[in-house]
Chains A and B, each alone.
Chain A
Amino acid sequence: MFDLDRWREIFQSMGKNKLRTILSGFTITFAIMLFTILLGMGNGLKNTFSSFFERDAENAIFIWPNRTTKAYKGFQSGRRIEFKNEDVDFIKENYPGQFTGLIRRNQRSMEVSYKNEKSNYQVIAVDPDIQFIEKASPVAGRFINQLDLNKKSKTIAIGRMVEKDLFPKGISAVGKYVNVGGLAFKVIGVFSDPGGDNEERFAYIPITTSQMIYGNNDKVDQINLLYNPDMSIEEAVAFGNKMRRDFKKRHNVAPTDQRGIRVLNRAEMAQGTGQVSGALDMIVIIISIGTLIAGIVGISNIMVYIVKERTKELGIRKALGAKPSSIITMILFEALFITSFAGYFGLLIGTGVLEFAAPRLEKYFIKDPSVDSGIIIFATILLMISGIIAGYLPARRAAKIKPIVALRDD
């Protein structure tokens, strides 16, 4: 395979015919560059897509009541449905083993202040499992726990941004007291949330405390649960639907009423996303393959032209004793070298463009556009193959040239 003399011949032929070499290389460089950029953009789009869902747990189901829109069982339309603690007990009793986390959630916008700093935040009264649903994790102190709930203590876990807003730099909020809607709450921890600034401006307090101090009732605004991750997507969708039916029945909401009981099921969304990102994949693959084929056809044409242009030279070589196999290897290796080198160059430019453009693309919903090394290896192999395909037919044609035809003086 490695024959220094052969490569010397090939390099000379490429070097002395620079324009020809560059032109044929350019086609491949361009095709691979487009391929890389398209693939990268496609990946970026998919990244954006999945990041929409990363901020919360994938297996969450949210249930909340609303006004009915249909009269049913003697109840008027427009009735406001309300959830209470017993609705949570109902889930515990009826769906054992089907969920791994369950919380009540009452969310209000309230003024929170520390010394002279104050601002409005979403103060969310919850059960401790909320941290798994929101994927929040403490960066200092701890999260709300069952003991806080049992004691109905006035403790609060605040988001990173809340601490940043209210507390002077370098001062930890943990252990300090903040004023929440007129009452002093002790900060027991600061958390971060992949939901970003928005969800890091949340603060969590025990649901029991909230039910006691704000109205002394057992109302629940929203129930969140985590379905058992062992379930398949289809099973989880069915589970969500069953809960919707059961809750409608329980609260005397018409089965056809779209609004009385609302259920948002991540599993259903995952089904949708799967389809969308599958379609996205298909589009990217089709476009990329199209680009590559165009590149291969391009270089193939150029190789045909090159062989035609070199007919006389190849005829001379044959008259001087070049075997057909040596003509084939010469043309083939030249094509192979040009495609792999030019392709690699295209890959570099493509990834360079992606890297350069990445920060400017976020507003077009393209996040971290990049191609992974597996794809790069795949593309490289594809290039070698396309080089061989592109070079083989013209090379065969070249080897078949009859020296007398090539050398005829006209």
Chain B
Amino acid sequence: MQKRKICMVGDFAVGKTSLTQRFVNNSFSEKYLTTIGVKIDNVVVDDTKLIIWDVAGRDSLSPINTNYLSGAAGIVMVADGTRPETVESLHTLAEMVVEKIGQVPCVVAINKYDHNAFKLDDEQQNKLTSQGWDIFKTSALTGDKVPELFQVLNNAIGAVTSVGEEA
């Protein structure tokens, strides 16, 4: 079976682990347990085994360790719709990703869509779409748009990767 490495990146507590767990195990926890280093999970999508690297979020103390991104075929960038600054972060995160591993397919999750403080104004949204990213307003809590997020990324990777390069 084909295997592909993808990485979850974004600020701390935006819901990278929650989105991964919702997709992989269809589970969700209210409790916040911050990820240290990276947690690796896998799930099969359309005859492809996705190896999901759930990377520790960026915070004010430590930047993301880009070593974890090595060899990723695609990136899920995650922000928290209830914290506008995490949406702003996506742009610097994207630069960092490109610097480390070059251009790879990328989808964006603005998470916690279920939350009543969720807000994504037109200006923010336009700025994101102008980067050519697919934007998903996801909720790890309800599962809203979570399968779509990974499906679209997997399709995009399939479209750019020639078969010979894959393991």
A is bound by B: no
Residues of B with Cβ closer than 8 Å to A?
Answer: none
Residues of A with Cβ closer than 8 Å to B?
Answer: none
